[in-house]
Amino acid sequence: MTTSDLGADASWPVEGLADEPQGPVGKAFRLSAADSLSLGNALSGFLAVCLLAWSAITDLQSSGKFEPDPRFFGTAVVLLLVGATCDLFDGLVARRFRASAMGAELDNLADVISFGFAPAFMVVIWGGFSGRVPLWLVLFAAASVLLAGVVRLARFACVKTKSGDFMGLPIPMGAMTVVSIVLLFQPGYLTIAGIMAVAWLMVSRIEYPKPKGNLAAVVLAWMMINVACLIIWAARLAGGDQLITVGAVMQIAIVSAIPLRVLMFKQQQRRERREESVG
Protein backbone atom coordinates (compact mmCIF):
# COMPACT_ATOMS: atom_id res chain seq x y z
CA MET A 1 0.00 0.00 0.00
CA THR A 2 1.33 3.43 -0.93
CA THR A 3 0.69 6.73 0.76
CA SER A 4 -1.72 7.66 -2.02
CA ASP A 5 -3.84 4.62 -1.16
CA LEU A 6 -4.53 6.07 2.26
CA GLY A 7 -6.40 9.01 0.82
CA ALA A 8 -6.02 12.68 1.52
CA ASP A 9 -8.10 12.52 4.71
CA ALA A 10 -6.29 9.65 6.46
CA SER A 11 -6.48 10.28 10.21
CA TRP A 12 -3.38 8.32 11.26
CA PRO A 13 0.27 9.34 10.78
CA VAL A 14 2.30 7.64 8.07
CA GLU A 15 5.55 6.17 9.35
CA GLY A 16 8.56 8.01 8.07
CA LEU A 17 6.62 11.15 7.08
CA ALA A 18 5.50 12.61 10.41
CA ASP A 19 9.01 12.47 11.81
CA GLU A 20 10.70 14.25 8.92
CA PRO A 21 12.51 17.45 9.99
CA GLN A 22 10.70 20.63 9.00
CA GLY A 23 13.80 22.78 8.60
CA PRO A 24 17.59 22.76 8.59
CA VAL A 25 18.37 20.52 11.56
CA GLY A 26 21.99 21.61 11.81
CA LYS A 27 21.08 25.19 12.65
CA ALA A 28 19.08 24.08 15.69
CA PHE A 29 22.28 22.91 17.38
CA ARG A 30 24.24 26.12 16.90
CA LEU A 31 24.37 28.35 19.96
CA SER A 32 24.53 32.08 19.39
CA ALA A 33 25.95 34.73 21.70
CA ALA A 34 22.42 35.47 22.92
CA ASP A 35 21.95 31.77 23.76
CA SER A 36 25.08 31.89 25.91
CA LEU A 37 23.51 34.70 27.93
CA SER A 38 20.31 32.65 28.32
CA LEU A 39 22.38 29.72 29.59
CA GLY A 40 24.14 32.10 31.99
CA ASN A 41 20.73 33.15 33.25
CA ALA A 42 19.75 29.51 33.88
CA LEU A 43 23.07 28.79 35.60
CA SER A 44 22.64 31.80 37.90
CA GLY A 45 19.22 30.58 39.02
CA PHE A 46 20.52 27.05 39.57
CA LEU A 47 23.44 28.30 41.68
CA ALA A 48 21.07 30.45 43.77
CA VAL A 49 18.91 27.40 44.55
CA CYS A 50 21.99 25.28 45.37
CA LEU A 51 23.33 27.95 47.71
CA LEU A 52 20.07 28.22 49.65
CA ALA A 53 19.66 24.43 49.83
CA TRP A 54 23.25 24.01 51.03
CA SER A 55 22.79 26.65 53.75
CA ALA A 56 19.65 24.90 55.04
CA ILE A 57 21.15 21.39 54.95
CA THR A 58 24.40 22.32 56.70
CA ASP A 59 22.58 24.31 59.38
CA LEU A 60 20.13 21.47 60.06
CA GLN A 61 22.96 18.93 60.23
CA SER A 62 25.01 20.99 62.70
CA SER A 63 22.33 22.37 65.01
CA GLY A 64 19.11 20.58 64.13
CA LYS A 65 17.41 23.94 63.65
CA PHE A 66 17.51 26.19 60.63
CA GLU A 67 17.78 29.97 60.89
CA PRO A 68 18.09 31.67 57.47
CA ASP A 69 21.40 33.52 57.21
CA PRO A 70 20.97 36.90 55.50
CA ARG A 71 24.37 36.52 53.84
CA PHE A 72 23.20 33.44 51.93
CA PHE A 73 20.03 35.22 50.90
CA GLY A 74 22.06 38.22 49.77
CA THR A 75 24.40 36.09 47.69
CA ALA A 76 21.46 34.21 46.15
CA VAL A 77 19.78 37.49 45.23
CA VAL A 78 23.00 38.75 43.63
CA LEU A 79 23.00 35.60 41.47
CA LEU A 80 19.38 36.25 40.48
CA LEU A 81 20.26 39.82 39.55
CA VAL A 82 23.12 38.50 37.42
CA GLY A 83 20.56 36.25 35.74
CA ALA A 84 18.23 39.23 35.23
CA THR A 85 21.08 41.16 33.60
CA CYS A 86 21.73 38.23 31.24
CA ASP A 87 18.01 38.12 30.47
CA LEU A 88 17.98 41.84 29.69
CA PHE A 89 20.91 41.58 27.31
CA ASP A 90 20.10 38.33 25.47
CA GLY A 91 17.30 39.97 23.49
CA LEU A 92 19.47 42.99 22.69
CA VAL A 93 22.33 40.76 21.54
CA ALA A 94 19.96 38.59 19.46
CA ARG A 95 18.62 41.67 17.66
CA ARG A 96 22.07 43.17 17.16
CA PHE A 97 23.79 40.04 15.88
CA ARG A 98 21.75 36.90 15.25
CA ALA A 99 19.42 34.54 17.07
CA SER A 100 19.54 30.76 16.85
CA ALA A 101 16.54 28.57 16.00
CA MET A 102 16.03 27.73 19.68
CA GLY A 103 16.76 31.15 21.17
CA ALA A 104 13.22 31.94 22.32
CA GLU A 105 12.77 28.50 23.89
CA LEU A 106 16.10 28.74 25.72
CA ASP A 107 15.17 32.17 27.05
CA ASN A 108 11.84 30.94 28.46
CA LEU A 109 13.35 27.79 30.00
CA ALA A 110 16.09 29.84 31.67
CA ASP A 111 13.50 32.30 33.01
CA VAL A 112 11.53 29.44 34.58
CA ILE A 113 14.63 28.41 36.55
CA SER A 114 15.87 31.84 37.64
CA PHE A 115 12.62 33.77 38.07
CA GLY A 116 10.13 30.98 38.70
CA PHE A 117 11.68 28.11 40.62
CA ALA A 118 14.48 30.03 42.39
CA PRO A 119 12.27 32.70 44.06
CA ALA A 120 9.66 30.04 44.88
CA PHE A 121 12.35 27.98 46.60
CA MET A 122 13.51 31.10 48.42
CA VAL A 123 9.98 31.59 49.78
CA VAL A 124 10.04 28.00 51.12
CA ILE A 125 13.42 28.53 52.83
CA TRP A 126 12.24 31.90 54.21
CA GLY A 127 8.90 30.80 55.64
CA GLY A 128 8.92 27.02 55.81
CA PHE A 129 11.16 26.81 58.88
CA SER A 130 9.90 29.90 60.70
CA GLY A 131 6.93 28.40 62.54
CA ARG A 132 5.08 31.71 62.13
CA VAL A 133 2.97 30.52 59.18
CA PRO A 134 1.60 27.02 58.44
CA LEU A 135 3.84 25.10 56.08
CA TRP A 136 0.99 24.39 53.66
CA LEU A 137 0.37 28.12 53.26
CA VAL A 138 4.06 28.80 52.57
CA LEU A 139 4.08 26.02 49.98
CA PHE A 140 0.90 27.41 48.44
CA ALA A 141 2.46 30.88 48.11
CA ALA A 142 5.68 29.43 46.66
CA ALA A 143 3.71 27.30 44.19
CA SER A 144 1.67 30.34 43.13
CA VAL A 145 4.89 32.17 42.25
CA LEU A 146 6.21 29.23 40.24
CA LEU A 147 2.96 28.47 38.40
CA ALA A 148 2.19 32.13 37.69
CA GLY A 149 5.67 32.48 36.21
CA VAL A 150 5.18 29.44 33.97
CA VAL A 151 1.77 30.68 32.79
CA ARG A 152 3.18 34.19 32.28
CA LEU A 153 5.97 32.90 30.04
CA ALA A 154 3.65 30.62 28.06
CA ARG A 155 1.22 33.50 27.47
CA PHE A 156 4.05 35.81 26.46
CA ALA A 157 5.04 33.31 23.76
CA CYS A 158 1.49 33.10 22.40
CA VAL A 159 -0.15 36.49 22.96
CA LYS A 160 1.11 39.81 21.63
CA THR A 161 -0.39 43.06 22.88
CA LYS A 162 -1.38 45.80 20.44
CA SER A 163 0.72 48.35 22.29
CA GLY A 164 3.82 46.14 22.30
CA ASP A 165 4.04 46.34 26.10
CA PHE A 166 4.05 43.37 28.48
CA MET A 167 0.68 41.95 29.49
CA GLY A 168 1.10 41.23 33.17
CA LEU A 169 4.08 41.86 35.41
CA PRO A 170 7.25 40.60 33.65
CA ILE A 171 8.61 37.53 35.43
CA PRO A 172 12.08 39.01 36.27
CA MET A 173 10.39 42.01 37.92
CA GLY A 174 7.96 39.71 39.70
CA ALA A 175 10.82 37.59 41.02
CA MET A 176 12.70 40.65 42.29
CA THR A 177 9.54 41.87 44.05
CA VAL A 178 9.08 38.50 45.77
CA VAL A 179 12.74 38.63 46.81
CA SER A 180 12.24 42.18 48.15
CA ILE A 181 9.36 40.98 50.34
CA VAL A 182 11.48 38.09 51.62
CA LEU A 183 14.41 40.38 52.45
CA LEU A 184 12.33 43.14 53.98
CA PHE A 185 9.76 41.33 56.12
CA GLN A 186 9.40 38.39 58.45
CA PRO A 187 7.09 35.51 57.44
CA GLY A 188 3.46 36.31 58.23
CA TYR A 189 -0.01 36.21 56.80
CA LEU A 190 0.26 39.71 55.31
CA THR A 191 3.59 39.01 53.64
CA ILE A 192 2.28 35.71 52.26
CA ALA A 193 -0.70 37.65 50.86
CA GLY A 194 1.76 40.11 49.30
CA ILE A 195 3.65 37.29 47.60
CA MET A 196 0.42 35.85 46.19
CA ALA A 197 -0.55 39.34 45.00
CA VAL A 198 2.70 39.50 43.02
CA ALA A 199 1.86 36.11 41.49
CA TRP A 200 -1.55 37.47 40.48
CA LEU A 201 0.03 40.54 38.88
CA MET A 202 2.18 38.28 36.69
CA VAL A 203 -0.91 36.64 35.14
CA SER A 204 -3.08 39.78 35.15
CA ARG A 205 -4.07 41.81 32.08
CA ILE A 206 -2.33 44.94 33.35
CA GLU A 207 0.13 46.22 30.75
CA TYR A 208 3.64 47.05 31.90
CA PRO A 209 5.96 49.17 29.73
CA LYS A 210 8.65 47.27 27.85
CA PRO A 211 12.18 48.59 28.56
CA LYS A 212 13.45 50.18 25.35
CA GLY A 213 16.14 52.72 24.67
CA ASN A 214 16.61 55.00 27.67
CA LEU A 215 14.24 52.91 29.78
CA ALA A 216 16.39 49.81 29.19
CA ALA A 217 19.45 51.78 30.32
CA VAL A 218 17.58 52.87 33.46
CA VAL A 219 16.59 49.25 34.20
CA LEU A 220 20.20 48.10 33.80
CA ALA A 221 21.45 50.90 36.06
CA TRP A 222 18.80 49.96 38.64
CA MET A 223 20.03 46.33 38.58
CA MET A 224 23.64 47.38 39.03
CA ILE A 225 22.71 49.62 41.96
CA ASN A 226 20.79 46.74 43.54
CA VAL A 227 23.79 44.43 43.14
CA ALA A 228 26.04 47.01 44.83
CA CYS A 229 23.56 47.49 47.68
CA LEU A 230 23.25 43.74 48.21
CA ILE A 231 27.02 43.25 48.27
CA ILE A 232 27.39 46.03 50.86
CA TRP A 233 24.57 44.50 52.91
CA ALA A 234 25.87 40.92 52.68
CA ALA A 235 29.36 42.08 53.67
CA ARG A 236 27.81 43.80 56.72
CA LEU A 237 29.40 47.12 55.89
CA ALA A 238 28.20 50.38 57.41
CA GLY A 239 24.89 51.53 55.98
CA GLY A 240 24.11 48.17 54.39
CA ASP A 241 20.84 47.67 56.28
CA GLN A 242 19.54 51.07 55.22
CA LEU A 243 20.53 50.51 51.59
CA ILE A 244 18.80 47.12 51.31
CA THR A 245 15.68 48.49 52.99
CA VAL A 246 15.47 51.46 50.62
CA GLY A 247 16.06 49.25 47.58
CA ALA A 248 13.43 46.69 48.59
CA VAL A 249 10.86 49.37 49.40
CA MET A 250 11.45 51.07 46.05
CA GLN A 251 11.05 47.77 44.17
CA ILE A 252 7.73 47.04 45.88
CA ALA A 253 6.57 50.64 45.37
CA ILE A 254 7.35 50.60 41.64
CA VAL A 255 5.48 47.34 41.07
CA SER A 256 2.51 48.59 43.11
CA ALA A 257 2.40 52.03 41.49
CA ILE A 258 2.08 50.82 37.88
CA PRO A 259 -1.29 49.00 38.37
CA LEU A 260 -2.61 52.02 40.28
CA ARG A 261 -1.51 54.31 37.46
CA VAL A 262 -3.20 52.06 34.89
CA LEU A 263 -6.45 52.04 36.88
CA MET A 264 -6.39 55.83 37.22
CA PHE A 265 -5.74 56.18 33.48
CA LYS A 266 -8.68 53.91 32.63
CA GLN A 267 -10.98 55.82 34.97
CA GLN A 268 -9.92 59.06 33.33
CA GLN A 269 -10.68 57.61 29.90
CA ARG A 270 -14.15 56.52 31.06
CA ARG A 271 -14.88 60.01 32.39
CA GLU A 272 -13.77 61.58 29.10
CA ARG A 273 -16.02 59.20 27.13
CA ARG A 274 -18.98 60.02 29.37
CA GLU A 275 -18.36 63.74 28.98
CA GLU A 276 -18.12 63.37 25.18
CA SER A 277 -21.35 61.36 25.05
CA VAL A 278 -23.16 63.95 27.18
CA GLY A 279 -21.78 66.84 25.16
pLDDT for position 164 = 59
Q: How many domains is the chain partitioned into structurally?
A: 1
CA 175 to each of CA 65, 99, 179, 193, 214: distance values in angstroms, whole numbers, following the listed order: 27, 26, 6, 15, 23
Instruction: Tell whether 166 is covered by a domain.
Output: yes
- CATH number for position 247: 1.20.120
Please list the helix, strand and coil fractions of the chain in percent, rounded to the nearest 5, in that order. Answer: 75, 0, 25
CA 124 to each of CA 46, 83, 194: distance values in angstroms, whole numbers, following the listed order: 16, 20, 15
Instruction: Tell whether 4 is covered by a domain.
Output: no
Instruction: Tell whether 59 is covered by a domain.
Output: yes
pTM here? 0.76
Contact 48, 117 (CB under 8 A): no
C-alpha neighbours within 13 Å on the C-beta side of residue 57: 6
Mean pLDDT, 10 residues at a time, the chain of 279 residues: 46 44 53 83 94 86 73 82 83 72 83 94 90 92 95 80 71 88 88 93 80 66 71 68 73 72 66 67
Length of the chain: 279
CA 277 to each of CA 127, 268, 274: distance values in angstroms, whole numbers, following the listed order: 53, 14, 5
- Report d(CA 153, CA 175) in Å as an integer: 13
Alpha-carbon radius of gyration of the chain: 23
Instruction: Tell whether 275 is covered by a domain.
Output: no
pLDDT for position 21 = 46
Contact 197, 144 (CB under 8 A): no
- Which secondary structure element, helix H or strand E, spans residue 65, and what is its range? none
SS3 sequence of 2-42:
CHHHHCCCCCCCCCCCCCCCCCCHHHHHCCCHHHHHHHHHH
pLDDT for position 269 = 65
pLDDT for position 27 = 54
Q: Which domain holds residue 108?
A: 30-270
Helix pair angle (33-63, 103-111), 10° resolution: 20
Instruction: Tell whether 112 is covered by a domain.
Output: yes
CA 154 to each of CA 70, 143, 167, 171, 187: distance values in angstroms, whole numbers, following the listed order: 33, 16, 12, 11, 30
149-170 pLDDT tens trace: 999 888 877 766 665 567 788 8
Instruction: Tell whether 89 is covered by a domain.
Output: yes
Instruction: Tell whether 197 is covered by a domain.
Output: yes
Instruction: Tell whether 221 is covered by a domain.
Output: yes
pLDDT for position 216 = 64
CA 270 to each of CA 33, 168, 264, 265: distance values in angstroms, whole numbers, following the listed order: 47, 22, 10, 9
pLDDT for position 114 = 93
